[in-house]
Structure 1
């Protein structure tokens, strides 16, 4: 008999080998796609990238806009969390997150567990450093080291994220949120550049820089870090206090979906004051014809984990209605 069977077996082996190679290439491609290659650009130098979970990357960076002495931690990191089913060929909206005083971007993950909160939502989250007490502004007195937070957050970070990830590169694809000092930063950025953000969430913050309670909150802690009292906004009579004051720029929020949160734990003195300052800003917005959502969280004190677990978790479905997304 002729020997066709061995040839058939050989053909089957070849086909099986090709199938294995193709599936291997596909798996490799999928893995490569799942791990974005973060590169330097827009004033940000990427020094190291560490993938901490299948979705989250800690990107160690350097920018001349921010001296590391101004940070609460040793390293300047940006923490990026991708959607659960991230597809690099699909454009996603981005939620920028800012932390409270003496915290860092890691607090959103280590305490607030923002990765679990955003699970299942088609949105990229970027937790960026806001400094030990940066307040989102280009400091008037930078004698203790460069602190140009406005430049870093708005001129460098946003285009750098757009460069490295597939994002919706318009205001309809961006939201900004923050806790405590970070709440001020989020609202401050939205009032200064409303064309960058479609939604802004301030949690447990204060938004009137010329209020004496707010001034005390800004300047009081600075000596603990060896920072000048006139650092963020200058001397008490300096015009920078008014220039950076969201209270005077509420008209800019007319096209921004604005949400304000505060807790009810008035035995927590920090939260009690944040609650009063937030409610006053809510009323000030209404008096100026600016619609906004005022949310009270029961049994929440001045804790970032409460803000994220409850506040961000509640607002994500709203975010999906407000922002463009896949």
Structure 2
């Protein structure tokens, strides 16, 4: 690992000697692959690209936004000859990847850090799983996030293609998704951050949070996890898969604004999961409180912003 850091640092220093800012000709070119078809690319700032895609894994009817976008923010002074770690971000229910930029201003939060951020679509109410009932449109979020998006990002950008080069984080539903993915495939991620979420699908409060909003979008109640007795609830329940987090640097955040009913419930669910992790011997996990309600802009500033220096200690990076 030390040798890799030395090599990466050498590339960074050479990049600085050769002029610092990345020339326009070195801007990333996004190509099809791994089930993802690139339909349009729009550079919205010197660092950020909105990539409109198509994948057979996700029906656009499942989205809160009309278009299926992946929003990629490069590090400041991005050097295409340097390998960078990647932070994957998942939004909350009824949001889109744009929430990380339009509300949370993740570009400003990550300024100065040598890390690529990928804000991924998680659906109007996708819950990170391959849906049991797909009658209202295909939703295979596990396949899209883990089998398609990660290798597609690695092929299109110069990334550290190892778990030591990846972190995953999310807010609310996205917090559950981040922790769910880390428990299912711990070999993909070195760090996982769940913010203002819930992590026990057997808890009735959590089940209500999953199913109650679905009719609003015309989605079946048994869509994400099946009927109440379906085994998919247990299969996708982080509560029963915590051993997967033993090698993942796991951080759980919850807000102290208990006047916000959503955040008050997220706080209780997060604290219970935190205690369950400790009881299971997962000592590298803890709950951090921030002065936030259930607001992604506060979460990004006080959660991601606080964890980025830790991320630089945990992940390989230039």
Q: CA deviation at 1:28?
A: 12
Corresponding position of 2:88 = 96
Q: CA deviation at 1:30?
A: 1.8
Q: Give 1:110's match in structure 2, choosing from 93, 96, 102.
A: 102
Q: Give 1:65's match in structure 2, choosing from 44, 57, 75.
A: 57
Q: Provide the rounded CA distance (Å) in 2 between the counterparts of 1:29 and 1:113.
A: 22
Q: Give 1:283's match in structure 2, choosing from 275, 283, 296.
A: 275
CA distance 1:29–1:282, change in 2 (3 Å): closer
Corresponding position of 1:76 = 68
Q: Provide the rounded CA distance (Å) in 1 between the counterparts of 2:290 and 2:24.
A: 40
Corresponding position of 2:209 = 217
CA distance 1:62–1:286, change in 2 (3 Å): same
Secondary structure of 1:313's match? helix
Q: Give 2:31's match in structure 1, choosing from 32, 39, 42.
A: 39
- Could you list the per-position Cα deviations for residues 240-286 of structure 1 after superposition, in whole angstroms to 9, with x for gaps in the alignment? 00000000000000000000001011110000000000000000000
Secondary structure of 1:66's match? coil
Q: CA deviation at 1:29?
A: 8.1
- Could you list the per-position Cα deviations for residues 108-129 of structure 1 after superposition, in whole angstroms to 9, with x for gaps in the alignment? 0000000000000000000000
Count of residue pairs brought into register by the alignment: 299
Q: Provide the rounded CA distance (Å) in 2 between the counterparts of 1:29 and 1:111.
A: 27
CA distance 1:28–1:113, change in 2 (3 Å): closer
Alignment of 1:268-279 (within 5 A): 268-279=260-271
Q: Provide the rounded CA distance (Å) in 1 between the counterparts of 2:24 and 2:221.
A: 49
TM-score (norm 1): 0.91
Corresponding position of 1:294 = 287
In structure 1, list runs of 5 or more residues that go unmatched.
1-25
Q: Provide the rounded CA distance (Å) in 2 between the counterparts of 1:32 and 1:226.
A: 45
Q: Provide the rounded CA distance (Å) in 2 between the counterparts of 1:304 and 1:46.
A: 28
Alignment of 1:1-326 (within 5 A): 30-33=23-26, 35-291=27-283, 292-298=285-291, 300-326=292-318
Corresponding position of 1:5 = none
TM-score (norm 2): 0.93
Secondary structure of 1:41's match? coil
Q: Provide the rounded CA distance (Å) in 2 between the counterparts of 1:210 and 1:142.
A: 22
Q: Provide the rounded CA distance (Å) in 2 between the counterparts of 1:93 and 1:54.
A: 19
Q: CA deviation at 1:293?
A: 2.5
Q: Provide the rounded CA distance (Å) in 2 between the counterparts of 1:144 and 1:272.
A: 32
- Could you list the per-position Cα deviations for residues 182-225 of structure 1 after superposition, in whole angstroms to 9, with x for gaps in the alignment? 00000000000000000000000000001100000000000000
Corresponding position of 1:20 = none
In structure 2, list runs of 5 or more residues that go unmatched.
1-18
Structure 1 vs Structure 2 CA RMSD? 1.2
- Could you list the per-position Cα deviations for residues 34-87 of structure 1 after superposition, in whole angstroms to 9, with x for gaps in the alignment? x21000100000000000000000000000000000000000000000000110
CA distance 1:184–1:29, change in 2 (3 Å): closer
Q: Provide the rounded CA distance (Å) in 1 between the counterparts of 2:317 and 2:216.
A: 43
Corresponding position of 1:6 = none
